[in-house]
A and B are shown apart, each in its own frame.
Chain A
């Protein structure tokens, strides 16, 4: 079993829809969680950090469920420009090598 798992998708949704996807992790000692966005043939860019209390940034909401060991990303009122691959990142700073990226979930927004 991979340490960080994501549904690869693709999620194909109409513009304006709400879409959500999860990322599960296996290491209960994980400390920090992030969502990155990666456009085709581009580098990953931080979308948002994920805090224990959950956090929202505009149309994006991230949540952490430590008991069930997953993080989620919700996108409301999706735009065409949201089409990208969304990577979850789970880290444990007891060892730098415990920076684990998921394989990404591909999201495609159609007009």
Chain B
């Protein structure tokens, strides 16, 4: 079956540009997570959805970061006025419920110039 997909796989943005990253979770998975992974580091939690409800956004680094999952399936992570420090791989993961194994998508590699 289809796994978690993310698009685009690569994104180059000019500093100050807005970007939108998409995540298609595994069909039927209730929980969806976004992570940011810098080079040489483990993924860092950004935000968590259960269905369409954003239950935790405490990991979002600034108010330039916004995530939504309006219909409880596809999610979008938006970064406004990108900065160079936003350059990272953004990983999306889904799970049947929040307490089970997370299945990761391939990530979006964002480079801000």
Binding site for B on A (CB under 8 A): 4, 8, 32, 34, 42-46, 49, 87, 93, 95-97, 99-104
Contact = CB atoms under 8 A, between A and B. Distances in A.
Interface stretch (B12-20, B52-60, B76-84): B52-60
B61 to A, nearest CB: 13
Nearest to A4: B42
B43 A97 contact: no
Interface string B32-52: 010100001111110010000
Contacts of A46: 101-103
Given A95-B56, A96-B98, A44 B40 contact: no
Contacts of B106: 42-43
B21 interface: no
Interface of B: 33, 35, 40-45, 48, 55-56, 58-59, 91, 98-99, 101-107
Nearest to A95: B56
B41 A103 contact: yes
Contacts of A42: 106
B107 A43 contact: yes
Given A8-B40, A96-B45, A101-B35, 20 more contacts: A34-B101, A42-B106, A43-B107, A44-B91, A46-B101, A46-B102, A87-B42, A95-B56, A96-B33, A96-B56, A96-B98, A97-B56, A97-B58, A99-B48, A100-B45, A101-B43, A101-B45, A103-B40, A103-B41, A104-B41
Contacts of A45: 104
Contacts of B48: 96-97, 99
Nearest to A6: B42
B99 A32 contact: yes
A99 B33 CA distance: 10
Contacts of A32: 99
12 contacts: A42-B106, A44-B43, A44-B91, A44-B104, A46-B101, A93-B98, A96-B45, A96-B48, A97-B48, A102-B42, A103-B41, A103-B42
